[in-house]
């Protein structure tokens, strides 16, 4: 079967400033929470590899953009580092950062690659985290000023902006489950961080629209479908609560401008509702996006709890559901994630049927594998497993398109093997292999397959 995509389909990949730029405390950049946490607890990072040891995009950007061109990208997403552009978080702009980002944007455009620019990818400037981070409304205001500065500096050429990537992750990692700094475990504070993030998002959207620069602004959400173990009402109810907390807590404000009443009632009933200020509802209503980025990696399998909650335990989402391991599921054993390609179709279908079929694109989808050198053949990583992964997911995207879903493109995570938070370089995701010591780049077999698919605007199944 031939899978053809629209002529205007976006083919590309995604990355981020903190995971690729390197030069973590150089050229005027200040520390982020990642620089600080690595300094404090290097043992929390795989093989004690920190955010300074990346693919060195700050130095190699011209060569990397040439590789993007070779891979037939017509679009590429990366982010701006707040700590690099405005080192104290609130004040003067760093001219070295302005020059750096201008060069990247101009070179992408010169190579016929449309820049998709994200403003925040988990990398809070340390100086602002020390003031409370997203718990502090002054930091929300500082973010809005930072966003407007980016629009002013780069908005004449950048026409696709995103306020946040996966905003649920700093909430989960930093304030619920202790896998990101500041390592808090407190649901009420987590809810406040999530709420303030969407206030920051809405303020940035307002600034962008006031400038009338002829582009569009959106947000990137990692949407993880919550599938109940069975049709039993208890399992269905449990899956609905998981969906409310981990998907709709950001999806509804981004697409509807308000929170689900069911979620608000649940948090209020348990005393976990964050404090609201007069005018918040009106502000949130202005944050409905022009374009939704969808990151999809795995499904969430849910069942009702089989045991009572310990009343002395901290309030957690798992008070209402438990995780379920579906028999016979296909797994990526290196990342510990289920591979379920139909999930990407289910997301697109839900957006079409329940959210008015918004303009959207797959902004991340990928497969991390450990020790990929095992699969080297004649000097090239023969990652047929990654080709199979991408092909299968694209087949389900194609089905969504055939049924009318408004999906405009597919971006793979990621272009080049990059540093990945506490995982560091344990698992590799790139179309391009990186030798960390020598910084040598080599296109993998999957990169060649993707280049051919993008050139032909489709593939044979």
Name the one residue in this structure whose structure tokens are 């899956």: 239
Percentage of the chain surpassing pLDDT 70? 100
Q: For residue 298, give both structure tokens.
A: 């795995």
Write out the DSSP string of 167-182: THHHHHHHHTSSSSTT
Active site residue 370: no
- Mean pLDDT, rounded, of the chain: 96
More confident residue, 335 or 36: 36
pLDDT tens, 84-106?
999 999 999 999 999 999 999 99
pTM, rounded to two decimals: 0.96
Dihedral over Cα of 339, 341, 345, 346: its sign: negative
Ordered by start, the domain boundaries in the chain are 10-345
Helix spans in 377-460 (H): 384-402, 445-456
Comparing CA positions, the residue from 181, 153, 223 lying closest to residue 363 is 223
Query: Is it the case that residue 274 has pLDDT exceeding 80?
Result: yes
Q: What is the pLDDT of residue 336?
A: 86
CA–CA gap between residue 123 and residue 423 (Å, rounded): 16
CA–CA gap between residue 59 and residue 104 (Å, rounded): 11
Write out the DSSP string of 362-388: EEE----EE-GGGGEETTEE--HHHHH
Of 21, 107, 172, 364, the catalytic one is 364
Tell me the average pLDDT across 193-200: 98
Q: What is the pLDDT of residue 198?
A: 98
More confident residue, 305 or 1: 305
CA–CA gap between residue 20 and residue 101 (Å, rounded): 13
Tell me the average pLDDT across 122-146: 98
Whether residue 172 contacts residue 114, with contact meaning beta carbons closer than 8 Å, is answered with no
Q: What is the pLDDT of residue 461?
A: 75
Whether residue 383 contacts residue 6, with contact meaning beta carbons closer than 8 Å, is answered with no
For the chain, the 3-state helix, strand and coil shares in percent, each to the nearest 5, are 45, 20, 40
Q: What is the pLDDT of residue 24?
A: 80
Half-sphere exposure of 78 (CA within 13 A, CB side): 25
CA–CA gap between residue 354 and residue 256 (Å, rounded): 11
Query: Is it the case that residue 64 has pLDDT exceeding 90?
Result: yes
pLDDT tens, 324-346?
999 999 999 888 899 999 999 99
Q: Which residues contact 6 (CB under 8 A, 6 or more apart)?
A: 401, 408, 457
Active site residue 166: yes
- State the helix-helix crossing angle for 384-402 and 445-456, rounded to 10 degrees: 30
- CB atoms inside a 10 Å sphere around CB 206: 17
Q: What is the pLDDT of residue 334?
A: 87
Half-sphere exposure of 331 (CA within 13 A, CB side): 10
Give residue 244's Cα distance to chain centre. 19
Could you tell me the pLDDT band of residue 382, with boundaries at 50, 70 and 90?
very high
Name the CATH code of domain 10-345 (choices 2.60.40.2130, 3.40.50.300, 1.10.10.920, 3.20.20.80).
Answer: 3.20.20.80
Whether residue 187 contacts residue 200, with contact meaning beta carbons closer than 8 Å, is answered with no
Query: Is it the case that residue 153 has pLDDT exceeding 80?
Result: yes
Could you tell me the pLDDT band of residue 23, with boundaries at 50, 70 and 90?
confident
- How many residues comprise the chain? 461
Could you tell me the pLDDT band of residue 284, with boundaries at 50, 70 and 90?
very high
Query: Is it the case that residue 300 has pLDDT exceeding 90?
Result: yes
Could you tell me the pLDDT band of residue 43, with boundaries at 50, 70 and 90?
very high
Q: Which residues contact 126 (CB under 8 A, 6 or more apart)?
A: 30, 31, 32, 33, 35, 36, 83
CA–CA gap between residue 292 and residue 405 (Å, rounded): 13
Name the one residue in this structure whose structure tokens are 């602004």: 217
**φ, ψ at 193 (rounded to 5°):** -60, -45
Whether residue 12 contacts residue 75, with contact meaning beta carbons closer than 8 Å, is answered with yes
Of 166, 216, 372, 403, the catalytic one is 166
């Amino acid at each position: 079967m031939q899978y053809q995509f629209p002529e205007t389909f976006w083919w590309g990949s995604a990355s981020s400033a903190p995971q690729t730029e390197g030069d973590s405390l150089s050229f005027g950049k200040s520390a982020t929470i990642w620089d600080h946490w690595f300094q404090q607890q290097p043992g929390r990072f795989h093989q004690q590899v920190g955010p300074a040891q990346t693919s060195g995009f700050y130095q190699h950007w011209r060569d990397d953009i040439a590789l993007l061109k070779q891979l037939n990208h017509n679009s590429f997403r990366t982010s701006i580092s707040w700590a690099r552009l405005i080192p104290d978080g609130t004040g003067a702009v760093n001219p070295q950062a302005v020059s750096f980002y201008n060069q990247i944007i101009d070179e992408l455009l010169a190579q016929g690659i449309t820049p998709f620019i994200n403003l925040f990818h988990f990398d809070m400037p340390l100086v602002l985290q020390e003031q409370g981070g997203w718990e502090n409304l002054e930091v929300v205001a500082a973010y809005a000023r930072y966003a407007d500065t980016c629009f002013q500096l780069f908005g004449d050429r950048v026409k696709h902006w995103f306020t946040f990537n996966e905003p649920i992750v700093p909430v989960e990692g930093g304030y619920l489950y202790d896998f990101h700094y500041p390592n808090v475990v407190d649901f009420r504070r987590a809810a406040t961080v999530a709420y303030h993030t969407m206030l920051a998002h809405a303020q940035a959207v307002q600034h962008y629209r006031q400038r009338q620069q002829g582009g569009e602004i959106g947000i990137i959400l990692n949407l993880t479908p919550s599938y109940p173990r069975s049709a039993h009402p208890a399992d269905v109810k449990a899956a609905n609560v998981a969906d409310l907390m981990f998907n709709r807590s950001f999806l509804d404000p981004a697409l509807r401008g308000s929170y689900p009443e069911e979620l608000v009632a649940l948090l209020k009933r348990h005393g976990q509702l964050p404090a609201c200020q007069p005018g918040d509802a009106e502000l949130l209503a202005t944050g409905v996006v022009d374009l939704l980025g969808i990151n999809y990696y795995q499904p969430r399998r849910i069942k009702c709890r089989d045991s009572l909650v310990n009343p002395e335990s901290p309030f957690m989402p798992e008070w209402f559901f438990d995780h379920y391991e579906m028999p016979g599921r296909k797994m990526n054993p290196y990342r510990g994630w289920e591979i379920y390609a139909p999930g990407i179709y289910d997301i697109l279908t839900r957006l079409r049927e329940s959210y008015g079929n918004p303009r959207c694109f797959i902004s991340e989808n990928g497969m991390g594998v450990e020790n990929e050198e095992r699969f080297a053949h004649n000097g090239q990583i023969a990652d047929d497993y990654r080709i199979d992964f991408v092909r299968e997911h694209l087949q389900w995207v194609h089905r969504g398109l055939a049924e009318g879903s408004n999906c405009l493109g597919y971006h793979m995570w990621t272009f080049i093997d990059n540093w990945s938070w506490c995982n560091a370089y344990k698992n590799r995701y790139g179309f391009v292999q990186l030798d960390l010591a020598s910084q040598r780049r080599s296109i993998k077999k999957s990169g060649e397959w993707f280049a051919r698919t993008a050139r032909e605007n489709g593939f044979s199944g």
